[in-house]
Amino acid sequence: MERYYVTTPIYYVNDEPHLGHLYTTVAADVLARHARMSGKEVFFLTGVDEHGQKVEQAAAARGIAPIELADAVVERYRSLWPRFSISNDDFIRTTEGRHKRAVTEMWKRLDAAGAIYKGFYEDWYCVPCETYWTGTQLKEAGAWEGKTCPDCGRAVEQVREESYFFRLSDYQDRLLDHIRAHPEFIGPESRRNEVLRFVEGGLRDLSISRTTFSWGIPVPGDPEHVIYVWIDALTNYLTAAGFPGEMPHWPANLHLIGKDILRFHAVYWPCMLMAAGLPLPERVFAHGWWTVEGEKMSKSRGNALKPDELLEQYEADVLRYFLLREVPFGQDGDFSFAALKARYNTELANDVGNLLNRSLSMLHKYRDGVLAAPADEEEGDRALVADVEGMQRDVEAALARQAFHEALERINAVVRHGNRYVEENAPWTLAREGRDARLDTVLYHLVETLRLVALQLAPFMPVKCAAMLAQIMNAEVDVAALSLREHGGWGLLAAGHACARPAPVFPRME
Ligand code: MSP
């Protein structure tokens, strides 16, 4: 069976879950659900990143041990995801024993390959970003005078300490070759170019241990040093796959991340894997950032949207839909309640909801809810069927490129087609004129279109689609068990099948 391994980043425990975390996790969930429906054996991983100076400091500020902080925050994530129908197969914590073993083994392999040496580290460090900057980088960014972080603008501190280094520079050419030979390795295209330019500019060896704090995994044989949090964190993708044991799921098919952590995933991570003699992930895709009502989301502004608070007002599926529909995946976007309402009312209430409601209402009004076999198809019927079949292919292709917005737009096009089809065929006139065969054909085409639309929407809105399918199939439908191969063919609804009475699935938002 074909495998599909997809990951989200593991989220820091010094922060609370917010819209950005939800975004990546929902996107990965849609791909995981779609891959399962396509018959693949899916492994979908998410989790939390617990080590590092930031966490140590956040815990100290609250007067608790780092592990206490981690234990509390991890529950916030764990309890949140099911409320958004997130179907992850594993949830990793970097404080778990399996992860410590994997990271320790990773270090040993890098060391055995001659990729690690001890030296002195003299640089500028941004604590909140956990990023090191050279003096040159600060000058280039115009941040030298104020000694501020080129990314976040906060103060950087100078450090000189003994440190282990990873020979990143040794892998520059191999990495360039790999990126050039595998155009699909980094997406979207603009990010790929960005990484190419960065690597072409020259890679500097990477400091991969710290002695100034202790909340981390110790360097094997030199416990004064803790392993740099990114070496620790990136290895999670291997840990969950079984490293250093058998890894049936590795290499991952896709690491979904935000654009801010692209360098770690598309430069450091592949070089580490090359050094350790392990295969590289197939693809890394970096999505854009959300602002909220036009403003940057941040802790200090206090405007970070909390997913659990959003649930007090909106259904999870509606949020899932909006996040993936509103912004082309890969670009930045703005979250606004007005835009959410507009999308919902236009595309879900007016288009999908209306088509479902009017189709099932007419089926009940004219045929007591029972479908009859379609008679001879006319041109317009064939066009609808062709459009539905085209949708199935196009959604598949769009999701293979992580183009969620295109997939949803394509499904919506079929829904609009369905509503046009109602107008063009005017079933009320067919009923009045007693054109029974024609009326049966039109009603059949409508319900079958709706069934296949619901099937395509199921990875995006599992709860809403279960409700749609419950009415169409007149039975409870387990969306997790849906199969595109088994249920995706046109014409599977049998003559004589009775649909349930319609009940609004997408009532208008006022
Ligand atoms: N712990 C690291 C990841 C290690 S992966 C081996 C980390 N964690 S994080 O919690 O800070 O952020 C995780 C993700 O949230 C990133 O992919 C980041 O891009 C995303 N987002 C944070 N703010 C965001 C927005 N405002 N909009 C969209 N995504 C954002 O980084």
Question: Are residues 313 and 378 located together in one domain of the fold?
Answer: no
Pocket test for ligand 1, best of 21, 319, 402 (most atoms within 8 A of CB): 21
Is the CB of residue 23 below 6 angstroms from any atom belonging to ligand 1?
A: yes
Residues 274, 349 share a domain: no
Residues 412 and 450 in one domain: yes
Q: What phi and psi values does residue 133 have, to the nearest 5 degrees?
A: -130, 145
25 and 98, same domain (yes or no): yes
Residues 362 and 471 in one domain: yes
Classify the C-alpha dihedral 177-179-180-184 as positive or negative.
Answer: positive
Do residues 10 and 92 touch, judged by C-beta distance below 8 A? yes
Asked whether residue 16 is assigned to any structural domain, the reply reads yes
What CATH number does residue 481 fall under? Answer: 1.10.730.10
- Residue 128 Cα to ligand 1 midpoint, Å, equals 13
Ligand 1 atom nearest the C-alpha of 11 is 10
Are residue 16 and residue 59 in the same domain, yes or no? Answer: yes
Assigned domain for 481 exists = yes
Q: Residue 17 sits in a domain of what CATH number? A: 3.40.50.620
Residue 395: count of CB within 10 angstroms of its CB: 26
Is ligand 1 within 6 A of the CB of residue 257? yes
Nearest CA to ligand 1 atom 6: 234
**Short-list 202, 145, 213, CA closest to 175:** 202
Q: Same domain, yes or no, for 272 and 356?
A: no
User: In this structure, are 254 and 280 located in the same domain?
Assistant: yes
The residue nearest atom 13 of ligand 1, judged by CA position, is 11
Using a 6 Å cutoff on CB, does residue 261 contact ligand 1? yes
Cβ(152) to ligand 1 under 6 A?
no
Q: Report how far ligand 1's centroid is from the alpha carbon of 177 (Å).
A: 28
Asked if residue 292 is part of any domain, the answer here is yes
From atom 30 of ligand 1, which residue's Cα is the shortest distance away? 20
Taking the centre of ligand 1 as the mean of its atom positions, its distance from the CA of residue 8, in whole angstroms, is 9
- Return the pLDDT at 89: 98
Specify if 440 maps to a domain.
yes
Task: Look at residues 334, 350, 367 and tell me which one is the last residue of a structural domain.
Answer: 334
178: CB partners within 8 A, 6+ apart:
185, 270, 280
Please tell me whether residues 321 and 363 are part of one structural domain.
Answer: no
C-beta of 49 in contact with ligand 1 (< 6 A): yes
Rg (CA), the chain: 26
How would DSSP label each residue in 194-216? HHHHHHHT-PPPEE-EESS---S
Q: How far apart are the first and last CA of the chain?
A: 47
Of the candidates 334, 368, 389, which is a domain's last residue?
Answer: 334
Residue with CA at minimum distance from ligand 1 atom 7: 11
The answer to whether the CB of 421 falls within 8 A of the CB of 446 is yes
Pair (325, 356) in one structural domain: no
Round to whole Å and give the CA distance between 445 and 430: 15
Using alpha carbons, list the distances in angstroms from residue 367 to 166, 183, 433, 501. Answer: 72, 54, 15, 12
For the Cβ of 24 lying below 6 angstroms from any atom of ligand 1, the answer is: yes
- For residue 159, the model assigns a pLDDT of 83
* Centre of ligand 1 from the C-alpha of residue 261, in Å: 7
Is the Cβ atom of 85 under 6 angstroms away from ligand 1?
no
Nearest residue (CA) to ligand 1, atom 24: 20
The DSSP 8-state label assigned to residue 11 in this structure reads E
Residue 221 CB contacts under 8 Å (≥ 6 apart), including other chains:
none
Measured in Å, residue 164 CA sits from the centre of ligand 1 at: 26
Q: In terms of domains, do 316 and 347 share one? A: no
Position in ligand 1 atom list of the atom nearest CA 21 = 15
| Ligand 1 atom at shortest distance from the alpha carbon of 236 | 6
In-domain check, residue 190: no
Distance CA 504, CA 353 (A): 7
Distance CA 76, CA 422 (A): 46
Dihedral pair phi/psi, residue 314, rounded to 5° = -130, 150
Residue 501: inside a domain, yes or no?
A: no
CA of 242 to the centre of ligand 1 (A): 24
* Residue 235 CB less than 6 A away from ligand 1: no
**Cβ neighbours around 355 below 10 Å, total:** 22
* Number of folded domains that form the chain: 2
Are 295 and 342 found together in one domain?
no
User: Ligand 1: which atom is nearest the Cα of residue 237?
Assistant: 6
The pair of structure tokens assigned to 311 is 């649930």
Q: CA 31 to CA 6: how far, in whole Å?
A: 8
Burial of 214 per CB tally in 10 Å (0-12, 13-18, 19+): middle
Tens place of pLDDT per residue across the chain (510 aa)? 899 999 999 999 998 999 999 999 999 999 999 999 999 999 999 999 999 999 999 999 999 999 999 999 999 999 999 999 999 999 999 999 999 999 999 999 999 999 999 999 888 989 888 888 888 889 889 999 999 999 899 999 988 889 999 999 999 999 999 999 999 999 999 999 999 999 999 999 999 999 989 999 999 999 999 999 999 999 999 999 999 999 999 999 999 999 999 999 999 999 999 999 999 999 999 999 999 999 998 877 888 999 999 999 999 999 999 999 999 999 999 999 999 999 999 999 999 999 999 999 999 999 999 999 999 899 999 999 999 999 999 999 999 999 999 999 999 999 999 999 999 999 999 999 999 999 999 999 999 999 999 999 999 999 999 999 999 999 999 999 999 999 999 999 999 999 999 999 999 998
- The answer to whether position 61 is within a domain reads yes
User: Which structural domain range is residue 260 located in?
Assistant: 3-114+233-334
181 belongs to a structural domain: no
pLDDT of 137: 87
Residue among 7, 8, 10, 11 to mutate when testing ligand 1 (max atoms within 8 A of CB): 11
